[in-house]
Every structure is written in structure tokens, then in C-alpha cells.
Amino acid sequence: MGEEKIRQPLLEKQYYKDCPGCKVEQAKELNQSVSIRNLLIIWMVVLCATLPISSLFPFLYFMVRDFNIAKTEADIGSYAGYVGSAFMLGRSLTSIFWGIVADRYGRKPVIIIGVISVVIFNTLFGLSTSFWMAVITRFFLGCLNGVLGPVKAYATELFREEHQALGLSTVSAAWGIGLIIGPALGGYLAQPVEKYPRIFPNDSFWDKFPYFLPCFIISGIALSVAIACIWIPETLHNHNDSNESTDDTEALENGSCEAGEGKIIQKNENLLLNWPLMSAILVYSVFALHDVAYQEVFSLWAVSPMRLGGLKFTTDDVGNVLAVSGFALMIYQLTIYPYVEKACGPITIARISGVFSVPLLQSYPFIAMLSGLTLYIVISIASILKNILSLTITTGLFLMQNRAVEQHQRGAANGIAMTAMSLFKAIGPAAGGAVLTWSQKRMDASFLPGTHTVFLVLNVVEILGILMMFKPFLSEKKKTHTDQLH
């Protein structure tokens, strides 16, 4: 009873006039429905952070070719992998730092800094005239774009508890759509002088910098989002009331409405010893490695010549396939996924999705034997299914990660998740590009010739992730009395 007396005033009355976190909490109390405005905030921030990650995939092969650094055509994939990995390496070095900054100073400043970094370094990447300039600009973009970790914590804090799953699924949906729209923009807008000669004449600025237009469009979107972010709400609590005890003030600053025993449990929790959190992060990291390697390999494979096992697509062709996939992904996320997740649970449906991904991915080299309209239709269907299955897996793991920690530690927890994920994703493009290059040099091998090898390697990573989604490795956090009081 005594503990209840401490908590009750904090739960019902401790709202501070100048505290941004308290204003958000009050708004959630007054409006119990889903806020469309908050959903739009999450969408625009995540999209803005995701577009520059993937927009280079369709034209990266041609960009590296134009740098004249690769000795042979097959070596282009390896150098392209290094450019793709530079971003993830930069992000892995700073994700925990940005998570700590988000917990100390707020989610909003980290989001704004990250979006502004897109404006600057994505623009510079589009103006790259050498391989090393491309690598360095991508690296700095990764270092300063610390949005995706804190925005997951932000998504849970903007919504009431019963709507938090929707907030996190919006993050994964926007992430998934961004990974599709980005390559579509890159595919349609790269090399505009060749594609749209009536609009972009020869020997013009666009001829000298053939890959600047998609980067310029994305940077323009990011600038608009950066300006709009001035008015988004901050969710971090900030109290400076001298009448409060030190312990109670710390609890409120951390976004916790509890004092006493509940707060001490929160304060002493070591995130690295939180196995439900760490197991979800490790499994997600394996799938993140697979997904980014797949994105890299798919785009490089699609534009490779047929004699090397590719589809000989143009950047437009890749953009068309990925745009169709993105549209289908959006419909699935908004209409079908909520019902499937409710019926099966996030982890069960993720396991099923992983199992179906394996034979689908191994069919890609056989799809390359098709031609004409049949090839477009079949590869589009395969791309749609692959992206839907990947999104289903990542959404389930997002939910597990954020349910495994309490509010005041979500920024740091997501920082750890982003560091692990980025390390794995830094390996993905470089490894995927290297394996693709190796596979294209053994087109006449008797066992797993050509691109059969690269898709088998991707499936080995996928199978490892599937096995890790089962107990005893993956475990969910059991609800405690403290959790139920939130």
C-alpha cells in the first residue's frame, strides 16, 4: 500500500508545464485513437533516412565502372561492395553514441542532425568523381545519420501502449518501402542524358555527373523533412523541480512514472545481460546481413551481362521491378500483415516466412534462363514475394526488441541494435559483391556454376537466421509486475 501511495501521484498528477515528454503523455491520455499525424512523422523520417541507403544499388555497377578502378568486368562487383559497406561501417561506429545522445538530449535533435547529414553527404556522393570520394562520402553519411535507432524508440513513445505495435510496424514498413523506392529512384534518374536526351543535353552538367540527379532529388526531400522536423514533438522527459527527490526526478527524466523499487530495478538493468533483447538483436543482425547482401547482389546481378549469368537489365528495368515490389509491399503491410500477425504471432509468421524464402531465392538462377515479357513478370513476382517475406521477419523482430526493454532504456537498446546490425550490414555488401564476382568467374564449373553459388551462400545465411529464431536461442521477455504497471 505504501508503494502505491508513492506511485499514484506520479502516475496521475506529475505533469510538468515545460516538459515536452509530459505534453506527449497528456496528448496520449486525451486522444486514445491512432494519431495519423504521428504515423506521418514516422513515415517521413524513416523514408528520408532509408532512401540514400539503397538508391545507389541500380547504378552502382555503372558508377564503379566509370571510375575505371576495376581491372576486369567481373571485378566491378567487389568494388561496388566496398562502396555499399562504407555507409554501414560508419553507422556501426556511431550508433551507440547517437542512442546515448537521444536518451540524454532528446530524440528530436538526433533526428534533425541525421536528416541534415543526408542533405549534405548524399549530395556530395552524387558529385563523386573517384572511387575514394564515393567511399568517404558514404562513410561520413553513415557516421552522422543516426536516425534509425532512436526513431524506433520514438515510435513507441509517440503512441499509446495498445498502438505501439502499429508504430513499430510503421517503422519497418517505411524502412521496407524506402529500400524499394530508393532503388526505383536510382534506376529511373541515373544517367539522365542517355535516357532523357531531350531534357538533359550532351556535354551538360548532368553529362559530367550522370549519377547526381537521384541523389539531388533525395537530398531535396531530406531538406523538406529537416524543415518539417522543427515542429515534431519531443518525447523525452525533462524535469528540473528542486522539490522532487533525486531518485524520483531521475525516474521522471528517464520517461518512467515509477519510483522506489520499480525505478531501482530499471536503473540496475544491464542491457548486455538482457537475453530476450540480445537474442532478438543477434537474429535481426543475421537477417539484416542477408537482406542488404540480397539488395546488393540482386541489383548487380540484374544489370550484369547474360554471359555472366545476369539479366542484362538497364537501370530503368531494375527500377521498374523494384517499384512494383514497393507498391505490393505497401498494400501487404497495410491490409494483410496485421491480420496474419494477429492470427499467428510475430515470431511464428517470421519463421514461416524464412522457410519459404529459401526455395524462392534458389530459383533466381533458373529465372535468368527466361527472356522477354516472361522474364519481367516472373522476376517481378519473385521480387515481390522476397521483399514481403523479408519485411514480415524484420517486423516481428522489431517488436521483440522493443518489448524486451523499458522506456528509459530504449534509445540505448536501439543504439546497440543499430551497431550490431550495421556491423553485419557492413559485411553484407562487400561479401555479396565479392561472392558475386567469384561466382561469375566460374561460369563453367561442374558444381553450382555461376550465380547458383551466390544465391546458395545467401540461403546459408537465411537458414542460420531461421534456426536462431527457435528456442532456446530466441526468447521473449516475461511480463513482470513492473511491466504491467506501465
| Alpha-carbon torsion (150, 151, 155, 157), positive or negative | positive
The pLDDT, as a whole number, for residue 162 is: 67
The pLDDT, as a whole number, for residue 4 is: 42
HEC string of the chain equals: CHHHHHHHHHHHCCCCCCCHHHHHHHHHHHCCCCCHHHHHHHHHHHHHHHHHHHCCHHHHHHHHHHHCCCCCHHHHHHHHHHHHHHHHHHHHHHHHHHHHHHHHHCHHHHHHHHHHHHHHHHHHHHCCCCHHHHHHHHHHHHHHCCCHHHHHHHHHHHCCHHHHHHHHHHHHHHHHHHHHHHHHHHHHHCCHHHHCCCCCCCCCHHHHCCCHHHHHHHHHHHHHHHHHHHHCCCCCCCCCCCCCCHHHHHHHHCCCCCCCHHHHHHHHCCHHHCHHHHHHHHHHHHHHHHHHHHHHHHHHHHHCCHHHCCCCCCHHHHHHHHHHHHHHHHHHHHHHHHHHHHHHCHHHHHHHHHHHHHHHHHCHHHHCCCCHHHHHHHHHHHHHHHHHHHHHHHHHHHHHHHHCCCHHHHHHHHHHHHHHHHHHHHHHHHHHHHHHHHHHCCCCCCCCCCCHHHHHHHHHHHHHHHHHCCCCCCCCCCCCHHHHHC
- Supply 225's cell numbers: 523533412
Cβ within 8 Å of residue 25, ≥6 positions away:
15
Whether the Cβ atoms of residue 210 and residue 191 lie closer than 8 Å to each other = yes
Cβ within 8 Å of residue 61, ≥6 positions away:
76, 77, 80, 299, 300, 303, 304
Separation of alpha carbons 161 and 1, rounded Å: 25
- Around Cβ 479, how many Cβ atoms within 10 Å? 9
**Which residues of the chain are modeled with pLDDT < 50?**
1-11, 13, 241-266, 268, 480-486
Question: Structure pTM?
Answer: 0.72
Compute the half-sphere exposure of residue 95: CA atoms within 13 Å on the CB side of its CA: 23
- Around Cβ 78, how many Cβ atoms within 10 Å? 18
The pLDDT, as a whole number, for residue 182 is: 85
Burial group, residue 246, by CB count within 10 angstroms (0-12, 13-18, 19+): exposed
The pLDDT, as a whole number, for residue 91 is: 87
The pLDDT, as a whole number, for residue 407 is: 61
The pLDDT, as a whole number, for residue 253 is: 38
Closest by CA position to 212, among listed 139, 145, 133, 147: 133
The pLDDT, as a whole number, for residue 477 is: 64
Residue 312 falls in which region: left (phi positive, over 0), alpha (psi -120 to 50) or beta: left
Whether the Cβ atoms of residue 195 and residue 341 lie closer than 8 Å to each other = no
The pLDDT, as a whole number, for residue 9 is: 46
- Supply 224's cell numbers: 523538406
